Amino acid sequence: MVLAIVGAVATVGLISTAFFHWNLGEPGPLLVPRFPLRQFFRELPGHLVWLIPFMLLEASIIPLRALQWQQTLQRKVPFRERYHLVAIGAFTHNVLPGKLGDIIRSFLLARTQRLPFLQCLGSVAVCKLLEFAALMLLVAVSFLGPFGKTMVHFRGALEVALYLCVGLVALVVLLAHYSRPLAQSLHRRHRMPRLQNLLMHVADGLGTARSFRGMATALIWSVGPVLAPALGYGMALHGLGIPGGLFAGAVVLGAIALGQAVPGVPAGMGLYYFVTSWAARSLGASEADAAAFSTLTHLGTVFANVAVGAVSVHQRKLRLKDLRRGGSLAREAAHHVAHEAVEPVSP
């Protein structure tokens, strides 16, 4: 309860930074509007020229992720099935609390295809990691664009992200290669049977990472789900009149990924508004346009994901309470396996 209250307060405070200056420790009002709010709302309809293409590109992420997902799965799953599960996950992520989209699509795949849950969750984890790697590559290429000098200010954060990405890839590769041998070694010694089971599921879920060719192929398929939103944000910046803004979409997307990756901060929406408005202003947008950029890209993303996902939810005849129950069961399954892996077996 306390964490929820702290998260709500932090979210409101961070969102307000897109619209107000905070005068902390200075004389005068605590909050000063960055621009006339009446003018802001009057100008919003003029942004439809870039908002509609932005939403279409956001919606295209779902089929692109469905194509990518097959590259990390150990057996063939029909595209229609993958598409619906990714869409249902996107719907869940945006409608229900807890950000359970990736967990629910893993859980549903395990149920419909009779696969181990951890194997499905591992395949999704590899997809997310490779998307992060593809994003870092796109951001690196952005240094060659018209905002190369501006990008120098982000070099420190990007270097940290690059090291983090390399470290995560190395960890996944090590787990993929050595989880099964370690499980077999424990089996020969008749020790920790539950950990053996966990390691075998991890090995199956991260199977793609055992092959350089498999990882390279999956990385290529991971470019699409990153390039589409990068183009969407680039078109939005171009629509705001920023010269060369089309090339800066990856920069904004990278800033969003880094901002929302801060551990222990329960204010994802607030961080989104804070990061996107700050990035837009840094790239040359006016304060009013930067706030419109944050507001409309957020609403456009939510609308695109919910609209596309709702179709799949309807076709699968699912209800919100079914998704809530599925999310709860998935979390319980993950917690149960993790608990068993570390809990000693009674003789």
pLDDT in tens, 191-206: 777 777 767 766 766 6
Whether 49 contacts 239, CB under 8 Å = yes
* 1 assigned to some structural domain: no
Higher pLDDT, 137 or 68: 68
Backbone angles phi, psi at 343, to 5 degrees: -85, 125
Residue 122: per-residue pLDDT: 82
- In this structure, of 25-39, 137-151, 233-247, the range with the lowest mean pLDDT score is 137-151
* 26 assigned to some structural domain: no
* 347 assigned to some structural domain: no
Can you tell me whether residue 32 is helix, strand or coil? strand
Residues 6+ apart with CB under 8 A from 322: none
* 3 assigned to some structural domain: no
Query: What are the DSSP calls for 159-179, one per residue?
Result: HHHHHHHHHHHHHHHHHHHHH
Dihedral angle over CA of 14, 301, 131, 315, nearest 10: 140
Residue 74: per-residue pLDDT: 81
pLDDT at position 85 over 70: yes
Whether 251 contacts 283, CB under 8 Å = yes
Whether 54 contacts 240, CB under 8 Å = no
Tokens, residue 82: 């993958």
* 83 assigned to some structural domain: yes
**Residue 220 domain boundaries:** 44-342
Q: Exposed e or buried b for every residue in 269-307, given b needs 16+ CB within 10 A?
A: bbbbbbbbbbbbbbbbbebbbbbbbbbbbbebbbebbbe
* 171 assigned to some structural domain: yes
Higher pLDDT, 170 or 69: 69
- In this structure, of 137-146, 255-264, 298-307, 313-322, the range with the lowest mean pLDDT score is 255-264
- CA distance linking residue 206 with residue 128, whole number of Å: 12
Question: Tens digits of per-residue pLDDT, 88-128?
Answer: 999 998 888 778 888 889 989 988 888 888 788 888 988 88
Indicate the number of domains in the chain: 1
Residue 347: per-residue pLDDT: 34
pLDDT at position 303 over 70: yes
Average pLDDT value for residue range 300-314 = 95
* 323 assigned to some structural domain: yes
pLDDT at position 3 over 70: no
pLDDT at position 220 over 50: yes
* 56 assigned to some structural domain: yes
Average pLDDT value for residue range 179-198 = 78
Higher pLDDT, 240 or 267: 240
Higher pLDDT, 341 or 184: 184
